[in-house]
Structure 1
């Protein structure tokens, strides 16, 4: 076989030919004037179609082009327009927006796409006094993707015809994407006075044979949440996508990183932005929805415009070959009282806590605080509510301190047991438990009352960050109880702490430290078992945690903990110095020790286990 040879002349020839072709293409490229002229033809084609449709509703694309100066067979613009739109080329509405509003909500709806391009809440402003916009400057889109005449079309690319009217006191805006006067896809917006909830509907009319209902129909809703609060990391912590599906099930996407989920039979979804919500609700659940959430916040130091990028792709199920969905859109505050008015389980869109914690918030904390704020300022209402809660829990605290007082009285005898059986940890534990059982004192009895307070503690921990009644309400040096208070701005940022100093967390930390010193300092060593870590560390860790991590939390929450611990300290001092008498407690213990004490089944079982363990320990030593 003859070997192929490298032909340098052939290579040079190909390069020259290629260069000549490129040069010819460059010489024959359209000028800027020709490009603008071609774009003008496209616009002229669209305008001519619109004029033709207004003059005669039955005018076809061919008839419409006859009214233009350019013949159809010479118009590239006409071919591009008709091939893209098909029957929907009938809708010749030009760009523009229509305003629809009531006394609390302002909306602008674009002719192109027919969706809301601006949503402003009239009664709210951001931390820097700018009106609260949930939608503005292209941060949201709403697109219906459908198939018509073997073409996949997106409503975001098409022009709707607006019509504004009144339905009683309600303002109604219909947006129609037409193929003819009586053939269209319609978006209907209806605003009710004083309501953030908007009636919204999607339906098709007379599109048999034009709208392909056998192909997937999908709504694609996207929104990037604007920053509204002073601390973007704190706001972002409570910015989350939540939804209801399969009847009364509720779920949410991860608030950090990227997350997505696909659910069936979705009845509502909330693109929550901490104190504000953008929601879609439907009477007929969406067949399937693919949710997505992307966290856009890196850290507190970066001046970020957006918090989250949300997405929801809703699969529709046409009925009888037509679209018919009755829905609602909600653009407004994340307010429990407002959500409750609609009886749609919308309170599940708020982080009020699960189980017993949510129950306490819904039926105790929220109604109580709502009642108090009718007559008092937000700061005073927090103080009064704290006093009422602490008084209700004072009996529990009495039991807790009584158990601690008993342990303090028993400390000398426990120390004697430790000295007597030094080196025998099992015997020390056995004798200590026996003494505590006889005296009716136990560390567990001091822990149980504290455990009973945890549900209230956690319920309040979830209540304050979600209480919109605290937003932009001032108290003392705090100008916004829903955000951190500041007494000093730092020229640098401390990791986990921030670039400022908040006073309420400092006061709360001092109060917690004093309270723990008073309640744990004397009794802790009595409860300390051999081999256990020194629990005094808790006296330092808890105040330190409060000081560092609450520096960026809502000042209303720190105010609550400060007042709560002050009241607790006062209650404990009254119990110690007025109600309880340690000498009397000591005498009562001696009386109990003199009486035969019956053990319950649990105590007997524990005693037997301790004796068996001691016996095994002795046997092991003999071997």
Structure 2
């Protein structure tokens, strides 16, 4: 069918297109209607604004505030932010990274008047001042003020401050002399953000985008980023900050005092949308008295999810980086991040940094690795006796287990001692699972064939999609799978595991090959290097561990403790429980 369609099937005759209006004709036909509509809307806006109607007409002017990392575009209509460009970053397709732009993002400040009108600052035209150079905390800064005079002695001011080398933008909203005009109701800020695609992996970009917020009481929370349906959270308690968070970037507003109320909403877009990510909408209540008394001070943050930067922005703001929950978060904060930052100071290649990070982690865990290997070696030495017990009590699982535990107890072997060291390593493994997908340092950093360690590497593109796997082949994931199988085989050489469990130990790497194929290349590369280093550790340990010596030590322990009751503890409890179960089963069979 493919050959026929490519070489023999005739192409359909194109239909004759309907004549199109020329650009001039279209303009001529729509211009009068557009002009009439614009005039009508303008007249309605003037009528609605009442005493503010004189500010409803004007020409929008754009002013730029810029430092080394941020380019901020402001408009005189509304005195509002129109565009924010992060100068040191690019989108996945190497275009300018606009974290806020007029086409997809909008902020609306609205307040009530004593005459019952609702006035939106976006409907008013402000007069911009000249950009002034000043200092903030001894650092150079630029300041601009947008003013709208309602009446003599009554002015609305919006002040923006941008400090050198900073992703923070200071913002003040002042109602000067307007106590008799403004109603005692909160000023409502509505921020709508139609997130655009910034990363190569749309699915990952969407899965890490949501609204985070932090209450005045010090509680961090968010709307689940994995939600598949629209979700709204409404708070009546004071809120300190609200953030529109993506994979690697955050746009947020932070109150110097607090927002008196907040309502956040996340609207999920269909998976077929490869341009938009999600729509985030927040409605925040600002105490009107703050604006009347020169206390409505805020800070915008438009920048990367860099831990060092976020940690120094405001309380709890570093929570915008997903470092995991519970113990995994603390492993990342206290163990991984300091080491990663230290290595960054000396090495510019992040593949090399990952290798050194593995060596650092393995050095810390080497005592646990050694203890785990010795435990497995002891059980391997006792395998002939265990096999004899299985043969003697074939078919009686409870009796077999009880006698096996009794043997271990007599020989001084604790089967749990091999598992506990491995369990202690799990927090680090899971910490890495959170660290690499959220590490902006790896974003767009190449290594070997991978163009970006923060997303999956495409070694080969498939002409079809494999369910649960995808349409690409990640070589780092394949290497990780192969090394895990090698590591498992090495373990099984000194392990007493037999039967189905041995099969499952080889099955798990295959399952993870499917799971991790679309995960960041940095994560798969870390696991690959970790497996190779662990395999090398075990090979080195094996050179210094003599099975005959282990056997001799076990026999000496048995002779020394012959006739003695085993000491109490977890192992004895298991042994007693198995013995009791075996006796109960024997009694049941005897009764039958």
What TM-score do the two structures reach when normalised by structure 1? 0.83
- 1:511-590 correspondence to structure 2 within 5 Å: 511-520=483-492, 523-525=495-497, 534-576=500-542, 578-590=543-555
Specify which of 580, 589, 592 is matched with residue 621 of structure 1: 589
Specify which of 283, 286, 289 is matched with residue 316 of structure 1: 286
Specify which of 316, 321, 341 is matched with residue 345 of structure 1: 316
CA contact (8 A) 2:379 2:496 kept: no
Match of 2:145 in 1: 174
Q: Distance in 1 between matches of 2:312 and 2:150?
A: 40
Alpha-carbon spacing, 1:332–1:607, altered in 2? closer, same or farther (3 Å): closer
Match of 1:600 in 2: 568
Match of 2:193 in 1: 223
Specify which of 300, 312, 321 is matched with residue 329 of structure 1: 300
Alpha-carbon spacing, 1:496–1:320, altered in 2? closer, same or farther (3 Å): closer
Following superposition, the deviation at residue 242 of structure 1 comes to: 1.3
Following superposition, the deviation at residue 181 of structure 1 comes to: 4.9
Q: Distance in 2 between matches of 1:354 and 1:37?
A: 56
Following superposition, the deviation at residue 319 of structure 1 comes to: 2.4
- 1:476-515 correspondence to structure 2 within 5 Å: 476-515=448-487
Alpha-carbon spacing, 1:217–1:524, altered in 2? closer, same or farther (3 Å): farther
Following superposition, the deviation at residue 538 of structure 1 comes to: 3.2
Following superposition, the deviation at residue 144 of structure 1 comes to: 1.4
CA contact (8 A) 2:290 2:296 kept: no
Q: Distance in 1 between matches of 2:35 and 2:419?
A: 84
Match of 2:10 in 1: none
Alpha-carbon spacing, 1:620–1:115, altered in 2? closer, same or farther (3 Å): same
Alpha-carbon spacing, 1:38–1:566, altered in 2? closer, same or farther (3 Å): closer
- String of CA shifts for 1:351-377, please: whole Å, max 9, x gaps: 012222222211221121111122211
- 1:447-466 correspondence to structure 2 within 5 Å: 447-466=419-438
CA contact (8 A) 2:86 2:98 kept: yes
Match of 2:264 in 1: 291
Following superposition, the deviation at residue 197 of structure 1 comes to: 0.7
Q: Distance in 1 between matches of 2:37 and 2:582?
A: 96
- String of CA shifts for 1:480-500, please: whole Å, max 9, x gaps: 111211211222233332222
CA contact (8 A) 1:172 1:190 kept: yes
Following superposition, the deviation at residue 37 of structure 1 comes to: 8.0
Q: Distance in 2 between matches of 1:196 and 1:317?
A: 26
Q: Distance in 1 between matches of 2:96 and 2:49?
A: 38
Of stretches 563-572 and 601-610 in structure 1, the one that deviates more from structure 2 is: 601-610
Q: Distance in 2 between matches of 1:32 and 1:249?
A: 53
Following superposition, the deviation at residue 175 of structure 1 comes to: 2.3
Q: Which runs of 5+ in 2 are unaligned?
A: 1-28, 135-139
Q: Distance in 2 between matches of 1:608 and 1:513?
A: 37
Specify which of 186, 204, 216 is matched with residue 175 of structure 2: 204
Structure with larger Rg: 1
Specify which of 121, 129, 145 is matched with residue 163 of structure 1: 129
Alpha-carbon spacing, 1:384–1:611, altered in 2? closer, same or farther (3 Å): closer
- String of CA shifts for 1:281-300, please: whole Å, max 9, x gaps: 111111111111123251xx
Of stretches 495-504 and 451-460 in structure 1, the one that deviates more from structure 2 is: 495-504
Match of 1:142 in 2: 107
Alignment RMSD (CA, Å): 2.3
CA contact (8 A) 1:90 1:180 kept: no
Following superposition, the deviation at residue 82 of structure 1 comes to: 4.3
CA contact (8 A) 1:297 1:308 kept: no
Match of 1:74 in 2: none
Q: Distance in 1 between matches of 2:443 and 2:160?
A: 30
Following superposition, the deviation at residue 613 of structure 1 comes to: 2.5
Match of 2:54 in 1: 90
Match of 2:24 in 1: none
Following superposition, the deviation at residue 501 of structure 1 comes to: 1.2
CA contact (8 A) 2:377 2:494 kept: no
Alpha-carbon spacing, 1:386–1:37, altered in 2? closer, same or farther (3 Å): closer
Match of 2:23 in 1: none
Match of 2:162 in 1: 191
Q: Distance in 2 between matches of 1:601 and 1:269?
A: 51
Alpha-carbon spacing, 1:175–1:520, altered in 2? closer, same or farther (3 Å): farther
Specify which of 212, 216, 227 is matched with residue 242 of structure 1: 212
CA contact (8 A) 2:73 2:81 kept: yes
Say which SS state the counterpart of residue 492 (structure 1) adopts.
Answer: strand
Following superposition, the deviation at residue 425 of structure 1 comes to: 2.1
CA contact (8 A) 1:241 1:310 kept: yes
Matched, 1:276 2:249: yes
Q: Distance in 1 between matches of 2:290 and 2:158?
A: 19
- 1:293-442 correspondence to structure 2 within 5 Å: 293-296=266-269, 298=271, 302=272, 304-319=274-289, 322=292, 324-376=295-347, 377-442=349-414
Following superposition, the deviation at residue 277 of structure 1 comes to: 0.8
Following superposition, the deviation at residue 164 of structure 1 comes to: 3.3
Match of 1:126 in 2: 91
- String of CA shifts for 1:210-241, please: whole Å, max 9, x gaps: 1112x343111111222111111122222222
CA contact (8 A) 2:390 2:400 kept: yes
Q: What is the total number of aligned residue pairs between the two structures?
A: 548
Following superposition, the deviation at residue 584 of structure 1 comes to: 0.7
Q: Distance in 1 between matches of 2:375 and 2:67?
A: 60
CA contact (8 A) 1:484 1:555 kept: yes
- String of CA shifts for 1:514-541, please: whole Å, max 9, x gaps: 1012113652536x7xxxxx22343233
Say which SS state the counterpart of residue 210 (structure 1) adopts.
Answer: coil
CA contact (8 A) 1:521 1:536 kept: no
Q: Distance in 1 between matches of 2:383 and 2:32?
A: 99
Following superposition, the deviation at residue 178 of structure 1 comes to: 3.3
CA contact (8 A) 1:110 1:116 kept: yes
Following superposition, the deviation at residue 458 of structure 1 comes to: 1.3
- 1:22-37 correspondence to structure 2 within 5 Å: none
Say which SS state the counterpart of residue 341 (structure 2) adopts.
Answer: helix
Alpha-carbon spacing, 1:616–1:328, altered in 2? closer, same or farther (3 Å): same
Following superposition, the deviation at residue 448 of structure 1 comes to: 0.5
CA contact (8 A) 1:480 1:555 kept: yes
Match of 1:612 in 2: 580
